[in-house]
Structure 1
Amino acid sequence: MNDKLRGSAAAAALALAATGLLPATNAQANAEARPAACPTLKVSEGWYGDNKARIDALIADHCEDRDKRGKKPVAVFDWDNTVIKNDVGDATFYWLLRNDRIRPPKHGDWSTTSRHLTPEAATALGQACPTGVRTLPTATDTDCADELLSVYGSGATTGGKTAFAGYDHRRMEPQYAWLAQLLHGWTTRQAASFAAAARAENLAAPQGATQQVGTARVTGWVRYYDQQRDLIRTLQDGGFDVWIVSASPEPVVDVWAKDVGIDPSHALGIRNTTDRGRLTSHLKGCGGVRDGEDAMITYIDGKRCWINQEIFGVRGPAAERVQPAAGRQVFAAGDSDTDVSFLRDATGLRLALNRNKNELMCRAYENGDGRWLVNPMFIEPKKRKTSAYPCSTTGYTASDGTAGPVRRTDGSIVPDQADTVF
């Protein structure tokens, strides 16, 4: 090993020792013994503090054992605002509205599009949108487009009425699910083609661009993070099995994930049931939730279930529970409270991109076991949150939607945390 490689390996091992993953007394010896072929991150810009060194050290630690183990270590990434800037679900929804690609429900009954849609929202949609058409004319009918956009984007009607109710807030976000459900009547291939068209437009648009949808101006651009593209490639080169788990529709995620080297077989998103080859307004289930019950998507605790079921092969209600360490991901990355459960499950390192989300940042900043990494967003990072995160009072959202304190595994309360990485 030449001096440059030896120094790099030693630094990685010492960084790993600092995480507690490797005894400090053995760090230098193991660094000297590591094969030079272990990959390291190539993109340095944008990484905060020693985050890059600690990730390199984790990869090196597993890389040196890759010929000895029977299975690859697993890394799991959220997608929207974790691997890319902005939201591919939003981008697709806006494209659907601008291109008249949403089919009306049968008989104009909007309650059939989501079991969680309130009667007030179903009525508002029925009044705003026409019936008896093959697809809704949302490119020109601003009343219909505005109502759909309001229900999806804000969870309320244009008149201010609550749009969704009666769901578990740790398993389901009905606004996210509604996008998948509004793809009813199309095939998976057609849904993917819509996503591909939206992708082309959003990547071609200049950073900061907006677009007109109904009477509103909405975000009109998306960018891949160079740092995350590099990280995914490096993890794969180091022997990791890398997955995406997203709360956007799976056909949409599949289209976007290919460009960072993630095959559709390794991308998990919201899955519709199908009828004669066409998507329905009902959703696939996980764990103890059956197909068509529409009660769990890849959202908070639902992400844990889908990871356990699809990546680790755990079936039935057991998939909803935290698994033994040997049956969990080693590395995880996310940006939102949506991701907090699968991030907590990671046994090696947990990368939290700071979007000022309460529960995620409470847990990441407390960093009780030293395995959390906090990093500013790689494009347009958030400014410092001037007040502390309300961890001890309202940082946690319970299954019934009520706010409460963020608690550790033993039930003790996490104190409020200052925002220090921005």
Structure 2
Amino acid sequence: MLTKMKWFQLSPPQILVMGFAAIILIGTFLLMLPISNTTGRPLNFIDALFTSTSATCVTGLVVKDTGTFFSTFGQVVIIVLIQVGGLGFMTMATLFALAFKRKISLRDRLLLQEAMNQGSMEGIVRLIRKVLFYSLAIESCGAILLAFRWSFDMPIGRAIYYGIFHGISMFNNAGFDLFGHFNSLTGYVYDPLVNFVVMFLIASGGIGFIVMSDLVDFRKKRRLSLHTKVVLSMTGALIIIGAIVIFIFEFTNPKTLGSLNWGGKILASFFQSVSPRTAGANTIDLGAMRQASQFFIVILMFIGASPGSTGGGIKTTTFTIMIGAVIAMIRGKEDIVLYRYRLPQERIFKALTITFLALLLVVGVSMVLSTTEDSSFLMILYETTSAFGTVGLTMGLTTHLTVIGKILISLTMFAGRLGPLTLGYALGPKKGKELYRHPEGKIIIG
């Protein structure tokens, strides 16, 4: 009874943190079993923890090659962790509750509200039903199309297995693949079907379930919410700008786009622009890209996907608000106006807080890793940002990380999946609203 009372005293952010931590630990012990890998020997705790964290936090950074090191059992454990981590453990718990016709309590709804980053509990269970339906439908379509394509390259049973694995992995923006030797999808750089299906899975998983629901209901409502308009416009802008920048910087690089024909160059540019939206797949050698392109990808990874999605980063809406604040200040305006809607000050402060905490985390971890790892600072920054944005792209540092480096990157993936603000709420003391306001003061800025 006392334990139950203590559980009820925990805040929703604290329960989310503990829930994800519990899933990671369960995954760690399963991956440590000899049956989980092809060597028949137990995997050491740190590598198992790193892999479990990467899968649960839908990142894709790996210290052991998924396709060659892990057995079928280990791969199934990884894909289950990806599915649970991508949709959120509270969403999965709600699925079982709905299946067994259990009533969703007020506390469950509060947890779901926090997990889905919603402003209110209104319609939260209905949203969860849509999330589960959309996820299953999109993953199934992706799996069927990929299985059909790969059936020409491998036995049909293996093609179906690969289709299911990659359908789940790419929709959840995890980036895990089974092609072995850390090659990702480089063998399919010219393949339009694989490229377009994977890009669609990444983009649909990254825009968020709220946007999906809004788009499906567009026929009835005949209008889109402000959130959906901002997410779609910023997502589209980042993909197009990203493809153009990568195309320009890498056009003459013989190790990346330079050796491809025009169709391959355009396809690879768009794929490499979509992937940093927290997916982690690649069709060209990222380590061979020019430094300008690599740093640009760091920026894309830091921005990440959209709220209520399977992706990480500071989110497209946060980035939009920050840009809006800069434009408003330059124009001498007091309000940030998007699509004729004025944003409340609380949203602006939240965006500023998330961005600052994320920068603090990435910079802090990068500084520590620069003393523990024998690599260039850009490679370390790339790895750290990839972990925070739960992207999974790497320039080759992951497999060479020290024990301290693996622990730091694991913690960064964990913080990136939950969000620095959620972690702050979970770890910080709960304070009531202040009953007074201090007098206004002025300081000189600029």
Q: TM-score range by the shorter chain?
A: under 0.3
Q: Greater helix share, 1 or 2?
A: 2
Give 1 or 2: higher strand fraction. Answer: 1
TM-score when scaled to structure 1? Answer: 0.26
User: Using CA pairs below 8 Å that are at least 6 residues apart, which structure has the higher relative contact order?
Assistant: 2
